Structure 1
Amino acid sequence: MLRELNDTQIEELLKDQVIGRIGCHSEKTMYVVPVNYVYDGANIYCHSAKGMKIDMMRENPEVCFEVDKIKDITNWQSVIAWGKFEEIQDLDEKQKVLQKLVDRITPYIMDDSVTREHGFVDEESDVGTKVELIMYKIIVSKKTGRFENR
């Protein structure tokens, strides 16, 4: 039976997961793409190189974010959040967000194939010097969640 997650369960799922999906829309095109993220209880923080996703969110900052945890077809949880894309310009804030992302993602790295294109740098002062790394947040305005557990 499909049921709703309560606010606590929604927060736990958003904080627990590492990969979510951003949905954006611009010029009659919809685009959904997976991203690594960190959630702090108010904002979802991500990074990216310049590309279609960034171009679209700059054009239309209203986005949707989805995260799920799936055990099997009848045992899963899913959260959808709506919010506004905001690019982070301040270098100090960029460095802090990047460090949070690195700290969150590092335990899941299986080998040394992760490159600077993934946003990992040797020193905090290297942020943005090797690859144009765009740091951004989604300012969450609404969240909902569903689950099934049989």
Structure 2
Amino acid sequence: MQLVKKYEIQSKQKIIDFLNSQPAGRIASIDKDGYPQVIPMNFVYFNDAIYMHSHPFGEKLDNIRRNPSVGFEVDQHVCFLPSYYFHPTDASQADTLYISVVIKGRAEIVEDREEKAKALNALMEKYQKEGRYEALDAEMPVVEEVAIIKVIPSDMRGKYKIGQHWARPYRLKMAKNIIMREGLENAKPVLAIMGIKVASDGNLEIEQDPVM
């Protein structure tokens, strides 16, 4: 994936933090006819790999056994920016704020029960933060009943456009446009990603430059 430097996420830790903040990713494997098969999956980044749990039978598992080279992608749509933010009539000026990570790697179906249990516990920690469950161990039957897919990245790149390329006054101008279109409450999560805070008097304040 070719990236413009100003849009590339420079920090590996920020890539990992972004991955584990997102509810779903998409794994792409190659089917028996040579076509990409893209499947949305729950996942966790854990011990330098992507882990997913799956039904023990299915096409994606057959694909991985036949060809372990896969892609994995996660993205967050932050906000659509209509063309009239930038030009009165030119529709080509429309844009989008977003964050994305694309991984190329080697997939395998985990057989080791200890590793499977650790992966399942990491998934539970991500998705059920409130707890209220018994941690799994390798001897539990459920560990044998599910498949665990592991993707070991050979290349992992992140890209983001959340206003970091705008000068501060222009970013505040865009923030006001977003509030006018989306409403204040809907705009607040977008502004937070852009590093902008709504003060108690309603004014906008830049808390930090949104660098990843």
TM-score where L is the length of structure 1: 0.79
Aligned residue among 8, 26, 47 for 2:53: 47
1:31 is matched with: 37
Is there any run of 5+ residues in structure 2 with no aligned partner, and where? 81-95, 164-212
Report the equivalent of 1:103: 125
Choose from 67, 76, 82 the match for 2:98: 76
Contact 2:78/2:97 (<8 A) preserved:
yes
- CA distance, structure 1, for counterparts of residue 121 and residue 158 of structure 2: 28
Correspondence for 1:133 among 121, 133, 146:
146
The one-letter amino acid paired with 1:52 is: E
**Greater Cα offset, 5-14 or 38-47:** 5-14
What's the CA shift string for 1:99-128, capped at 9, x where partnerless?
1112211249xxxxxxxxxxx999641324
Deviation by residue 1:27-48 (Cα, 9 ceiling, x = unmatched)? 3121111111110251001110
Residue segments in structure 1 that go unaligned for 5+ positions in a row: 109-119
Higher relative contact order (CA 8 A, sep 6+): 1
| Max Rg structure | 2
| Counterpart pick for 1:3 among 3, 7, 10 | 7
Percent identity between matched residues is: 32
- Aligned residue for 1:111? none
Kindly tell me the number of residue pairs found equivalent between the two proteins: 137
Please, what is the CA RMSD of the aligned residues? 2.5
Letter of the 1:59 partner, please give it. Answer: R
Partner Cα separation in structure 2 for residue 121 and residue 46 of structure 1: 19
**1:18 matched to 2:23:** yes
1 or 2, which has the higher strand percentage? 1
TM-score relative to the length of structure 2: 0.58
Q: Secondary structure at the match of 2:118?
A: helix
Q: Measure the CA separation in 2 of the matches of 1:95 and 1:13.
A: 24
Say if 2:192 is the partner of 1:147.
no
